[in-house]
Amino acid sequence: MGKFVFKLEPLYEYRQRMEEISQREFSEALRRLEDEEVKLNRLKAANQKAFGEMDEMKEKGAGVEEINLYYLYIAGLKNRIGEQEKILKEFRELLELNRKKLIEASKGRKVIEIMKERSFNSYIEGINREEQKTADDMVNSLYKRSGNQ
């Protein structure tokens, strides 16, 4: 029996590449999601800080114009926080889509991998049968020779 050759090896390699690509896309989507979460947290921290500064200004008796400017600044921050939350939602959806693609790619590779293992096991069984047949033939041949003498 010759060397083991898996007939679907090109398909297996293709599925492996697709899984690697899906893994990279998933990792990139996760990194981008984390970046967007950091941006949102910074905006929320800036919003909290602005509220604190506005309270201090009120206690110190700041003018109405200055306090109104802070209200406008806080309103702008709230709008940016809302926009950032929408962006974050989109990135979460993208991450979930990439997760599904990765799972499917992994399943596809595993199916071919199982087929490859079964094919290899069948190949090994064939070799073992041939070796056993050769050994049996040798024993029979020796038995016949010893019986003829």
What is the per-residue pLDDT for 149? 55
- Which pLDDT tens digit goes with each residue over 93-126? 999 999 999 999 999 999 999 999 999 999 999 9
Give the predicted TM-score (pTM) of the model: 0.74
**Residues contacting 131, CB < 8 A, separation 6+:** none
What is the per-residue pLDDT for 148? 59
Sign of the alpha-carbon dihedral angle for 61, 63, 66, 72 = positive
Q: Report, as ranges of residue numbers, the positions in the chain whose pLDDT lies below 70.
A: 1, 147-149
What is the per-residue pLDDT for 107? 96
What is the per-residue pLDDT for 42? 97
